[in-house]
Chain A
Amino acid sequence: MARTLWSGSLSFGLVNVPIRLTSAARNLDLRFRQLHEKDGALIEQRRFCSQEDSEVEWEEVGRGFELEDGEQVVLTDEELSSVEPRKTRTISVEAFVDLEDVDPIYFDHPWFLTPSGDSEGTLRAYGLLTEVMESTGRAALGRFVMRTKEYLVLVRPRDGLLSLTTLRFHDEVRSTDEIAPGGRKPAKSKIDGAVAVIESLSTEWEPERYTDCYRERLQGVIEDKKKGKRIKAPEQVEEPKPAPDLMAALQETLDRMGSGASKKPARGNGDGLEKLSREELYERAQAEDVPGRSKMSKDELIAALDG
């Protein structure tokens, strides 16, 4: 069962729904610990006073903030807690917005909101709110306080439940003014060429098809090391130069896909090479020691491995 990180109520208008908050994402990264090379003992981090060079206990730690004039203001955790907003047990809905208007760039951490307790009243209010948001395509904007910080949040339905995302504030999202290219819109023929390439490489979003190759390889490295093998870093793919003639490059990409070398398995020999990513193909090419593999495209790798 998922761990509850916060419980309180979701309030909209005069309706209060008791809810719990659990994380909707889990980090499956492999965790490493710091060790002392000499004796393999764990490293411990301790706090030391830079003036006295003595260890400092948690109770003696203050929060220092440097003012513009270089002066330092020190706050205790107790003083800091005095500015925590008062309604700490409520997510209060301030407005409903169209979900499609909120760009995911504002989304921070995802959570699930589940009803707290199984009283009929709670479950019905929870179900009603989920149903209405689903049918209207709207999401609720609200605020709530978790631990010490107040968050702006978006509540929306996902998987038949209510989910909550903490949002970044507008001034935490940077402007793109200095990054956007200026100048004229490129020629229509070029855009059309790129559109054709995108269309031909299009598929449905099936997240299960993507696995964390990094996690898998790291597990492999650990397994090998356990058996006493020494692992070398692979050679790096060379960065390709942009084609001098964009139209020709787009056309050739399309031609190659049209010949059935890529996406749709047209060759029917059942080896499934087309379904592999370039990464996986490259690893096979490495195992078979295919010459010139680092410069090969996905199609070229398939051709070389299939030969």
Chain B
Amino acid sequence: MPRSIWNGTISVGLAHVPIKLYSATESKTVSFHEVHLKDGARLEHKRLCSKEGKEVPYKEVVKGFEVAPDEFIVLEKDEVAAAAGGRGKVIEIEEFVPDDEIDPVFYEKTYYVGWRDDDEVYRVFQEALKQTGRVGIGRFTFHNREYLAAVRALGDVLALHTMRFHDEIVRGSELDVATPGKGAAKAEIEMASQLVDSLHRDFDPGEYEDSYREAVLGLIARKAKGEEIEPEADEPEEETSDLMAALQASLKGS
């Protein structure tokens, strides 16, 4: 059984669902620790006081918010906790919205929601979300900070996404993008659609491996055997000058 990272309750009106949260994703990027090239010894990050130049023990470190250049307001831990609000271990679902109305750009981190104590109420809630195609929206407090959260049915379980707020999402209208003098011609649209069709596949995530991860692991293996490692060079790309010709040639080749 994977280890849960949070226990709490999802409340919908007077119905309460006891739950556990699990990480849904894990990075498999090859991670290194920093070492001193000279002697291979691990590096330590030390906290130094910029005024005294001396090491500062962790218990003497405080959180400061810069209100003006070089003017800080220091917050105690319980003052930061005050901002987390009084929600405790309850995720109260305030409303439900159609799944397909939420652009996934709002979803930040994903957790799996597992059942606790009573799997029946969990299954009832999960099944009802699946049948209605809706997502529950509520607030969630984790590690002294509050998040907006979306709870939805995912396969046989529930998933919880922490969400970005609307002002944290960049809108297309904020970007200065020029429009072409004239729109695409019918023939171009048809040909591009054909090209999209010819490259159409079912999405099977298992088909795609992290080739960079493989390459880094391969490099480590080569280095471990004592091989010499040499750097490689980039190659430049060109802009398409004749769109129709490029589309046609692509279709022939596909």
B206→A38 contact, CB < 8 A: no
Q: How many A-B residue pairs have CB under 8 A?
A: 575
**B188 contacts A128, CB within 8 Å?**
yes
B180 close to A124 (CB less than 8 A): yes
Residues of B within 8 A of A102 (CB): 203
* Chain B residues, CB < 8 A from A12: 195, 199, 250
- Whether B72 pairs with A79 at a CB distance below 8 angstroms is no
Of the residues B39, B83, B203, contact of A49 by C-beta under 8 Å = B39
What's the Cα separation between A212 and B125 when bound, in Å? 27
Contact of A74 among B37, B49, B208, B212 (CB under 8 A): B37
Minimum CB–CB distance from A134 to chain B (whole Å) comes to 11
Identify B87's interface contact among A62, A106, A160, A236, CB under 8 A.
A236
- How many chain A residues touch B (CB < 8 A): the figure is 193
- Per CB-CB distance, the 5 closest pairs between chain A and chain B, nearest first, are A13-B250, A159-B172, A253-B13, A194-B128, A104-B104
The CA-CA distance from A247 to B5 in the complex, in Å, is: 30
Q: A17, A28, A135, A185: which contacts B127 (Cβ < 8 A)?
A: A185
A305 within 8 A of B: no
Q: Is the CB of A74 within 8 A of B24?
A: no
Interface size on B, residues (CB 8 A): 185
Encode B5-47 as 1/0 by CB contact (under 8 A) with A: 0001101111111100011111111101111111111111111
B124 interface neighbour in A80, A83, A194, Cβ under 8 Å: A194
Check if A128 sits within 8 Å of B189, measured CB to CB: yes
19 new A-B contacts at CB < 8 Å, known A207-B106, A249-B13: A14-B247, A28-B165, A28-B167, A32-B75, A35-B63, A49-B41, A50-B44, A65-B32, A79-B219, A81-B231, A95-B199, A101-B203, A149-B29, A150-B211, A174-B23, A194-B15, A221-B79, A234-B85, A239-B88
**For residue B215, which residues in chain A have a CB less than 8 angstroms away from its CB?**
83, 85
Is the pair B121, A246 in contact by a Cβ cutoff of 8 Å?
yes
**Which of A14, A45, A107 meets B107, CB within 8 Å?**
A107
Contact A172 B155 (CB under 8 A): no
Interface centre among B86, B92, B182, B193, by most chain A C-beta atoms within 10 angstroms, is: B86
A211 to B65, CA, bound (A): 21
Question: For residue B122, which residues in chain A have a CB less than 8 angstroms away from its CB?
Answer: 181
For B239, give its contact among A122, A138, A239 (CB under 8 Å).
A122
Taking CB atoms, residues of chain A closer than 8 Å to B47 are: 34, 43-45
CB-CB < 8 A to A242: which residues of B? 9, 15-18, 117-118, 121
Contact B219 A190 (CB under 8 A): no
Q: Which residues of A contact B128 (CB under 8 A)?
A: 191, 194-195, 197-198
Instruction: Please determine whether A34 and B159 come into contact, CB atoms closer than 8 angstroms.
Output: no
Question: Once the chains are docked, how many angstroms separate the CA of A176 from the CA of B23?
Answer: 10
**By the criterion CB–CB under 8 Å, are A222 and B73 in contact?**
yes
Are B240 and A44 touching (Cβ within 8 A)?
no
15 contacts between A and B (CB under 8 A): A28-B167, A33-B66, A49-B39, A62-B35, A85-B212, A87-B237, A96-B200, A97-B200, A123-B180, A173-B25, A191-B124, A201-B96, A204-B98, A221-B82, A249-B15
